[in-house]
Amino acid sequence: MAFRLPTMLAVLLSTAFLLPLSALSEQVLSLSEAERLALIDDPATLRYRELAEARREAAISVRQLPDPMLIMEVMDVARDGISIDDDSMTQLRVGVRQTFPRGDSRRLASERESAMAQAEAARSSNAELAAVRAVRRSYLALAEQRAILGVLEQSQPLFEDLREITEREFASGFADQQDLLRAELELSRLHDRMLNVQAQEAVAQAQLARWVGHEALSRPLSLDLPELAEPAGTLLAHPLLDAEQAVIDAGNHGVELARQGYKPQWSVELTYGTPTQRGMGMPDRMSAMVMVDLPLFTRQRQDRDLSASVHRREAAQYAWDEQARELQRQLGESQARWQLMSERERRYQQLLLPQARENAEAAEHGYRNRTTDFNSLVRARLTELETRIEAVRIGTQRRLEQVDLLYLLGENA
């Protein structure tokens, strides 16, 4: 028993340490998880989906024939009496009338609604892309503040060491009181910066909560800034352009629908009549009637409708051109900024960060050996701190530009 107890204790301790670590790793709120939560019930995306579904239903509805009309008639009632069975000419008639709309107007109206359904579906895709872009930007903003806070927390022991070194130097007579006060001041300023970053972190957290909810934000974020896919799409794949193209298609159908106004509309009527006076040998009668309207005077109606449809189609084409130019402008600006930030990030990682670290270490070594003054040491430490913070900001900005590029190229990977 004395041999088994330590073994069991070791197993229990190892299990106790391993389970929380695995549980924490499962609870990390990754960027992909945040995107999934944001898209579950995004109101804008769902709104356009409902509008698209409404258009699809309307496309089926407008393709159908109008409802037939039931005709019930008392015909040829003598005006000198109120009875309908005193005159052999009086008849009871029942019939049905069916109207047939002009030309291919039903098919064209259905195709126009289907095109508008495609436009709403494309707007839904754009709303989904916009939601992904927004949650990515919010996630990166929060990750940036937490990364900066981590840099400040890592720098705090260095500034505390700086104060302790100054206190020892002051006690030995190799530093004056101003150096000691400067060390205290820089440490206090560091604490103030940490409070300021925490305030900005709270703002970024509230913005991200709008997309993922407050419960998800109780989970820790990834320690590193997330990497995104390289932009590889084309501008023509953007759903906003798809939506405008669908509106153009609907305009084309609208023009053809207006042309149907020059064609006649037909109605067919079938009736069955029976005399109200029996015993006179009067037979029942059937009748058929065809009615057709005559679009003879088209100048103020059909011509105007056709002209209006053409103008609407041209306006839709201009809307596509305007949208394409705006997206192209945004794409060019984002690509330029992304390439610049990528180059700056590379320089910071390869040159500036190592140089700032070596400069701070050299300044501290010189101060300990009394070959460098206190102000030079403080400047070196502050330069290293600012360089590390700027590296975080540049890395975040590069990712933000990449987020915009992925949106503009119609990608959400």
pLDDT digits (tens, 9 = 90+) for 103-121: 999 999 999 999 999 999 9
Structural domain contains residue 100 = no
| Angle (nearest 5°) at CA 367 between 363 and 369 | 120
Q: Which domain holds residue 231?
A: 29-74+105-277+295-408
Q: What pLDDT was estimated at residue 276?
A: 74
Pairing of strands 69-75, 285-292: unpaired
What tokens does 352 get? 């500036």
Of 265, 246, 243, 257, which is closest to residue 310 (Cα–Cα)?
A: 257
Assign residue 173 a region (left: φ > 0; alpha: ψ between -120 and 50; beta: otherwise).
left
Q: What pLDDT was estimated at residue 215?
A: 87
Per DSSP, helices labelled H in 298-373 are 302-347, 353-368
Structural domain contains residue 85 = no
Structural domain contains residue 203 = yes
Which parts of the chain sit beneath pLDDT 70? 1-26, 78-79, 81-88, 223-226, 232-233, 278-281, 412-413
What tokens does 3 get? 């041999």
Q: Determine the residue type at 361.
A: E
Structural domain contains residue 247 = yes
- Measured from the Cβ of residue 31, the count of other Cβ atoms closer than 10 Å reads 20
Q: Determine the residue type at 392.
A: V
- Measured from the Cβ of residue 265, the count of other Cβ atoms closer than 10 Å reads 17
Q: What pLDDT was estimated at residue 349?
A: 96
d(CA 103, CA 91): 36
Note the pTM of the prediction, 2 decimals.
0.81
Q: Tokens 């015909």, residue? A: 75
Structural domain contains residue 160 = yes
Question: Who's near 212: CB < 8 A, 6+ residues apart?
Answer: 29, 34, 37, 38, 135
pLDDT digits (tens, 9 = 90+) for 117-134: 999 999 999 999 999 999
- DSSP assignment of 24-37 equals HHHH-B-HHHHHHH
Instruction: Report the CATH number at residue 305.
Output: 1.20.1600.10
Q: Tokens 């053409």, residue? A: 310
Structural domain contains residue 140 = yes
Q: What pLDDT was estimated at residue 134?
A: 95
d(CA 52, CA 64): 20
Q: Determine the residue type at 19.
A: L
Specify whether the CB–CB gap between 406 and 413 falls below 8 A.
yes
Pairing of strands 266-275, 285-292: antiparallel
- Measured from the Cβ of residue 274, the count of other Cβ atoms closer than 10 Å reads 13
Structural domain contains residue 395 = yes
d(CA 145, CA 392): 9
Question: Could you tell me the maximum CA-CA distance found in the chain, to the nearest angstrom?
Answer: 142
Structural domain contains residue 20 = no
d(CA 388, CA 384): 6
Specify whether the CB–CB gap between 372 and 94 falls below 8 A.
no
SS3 category, 153: helix
Of 109, 111, 117, 125, which is closest to residue 65 (Cα–Cα)?
A: 109
Q: Tokens 């707007």, residue? A: 123
The 8-class DSSP code of residue 197 comes to: H
Domain count, the chain: 1
Burial zone of 23 (CB within 10 Å; 0-12 exposed, 13-18 middle, 19+ buried): exposed
pLDDT digits (tens, 9 = 90+) for 295-305: 888 898 999 99
- DSSP assignment of 7-25 equals HHHHHHHHHHHHHHHHHHH
Inter-axis angle of helices 374-408 and 105-172, to 10 degrees?
170
State how far the alpha carbon of 303 is from the alpha carbons of 102, 164, 251, 252, 399, in Å: 16, 91, 16, 16, 55
Of 133, 126, 131, 119, which is closest to residue 319 (Cα–Cα)?
A: 119
Q: What pLDDT was estimated at residue 22?
A: 43
E strands, 146-207, are: none
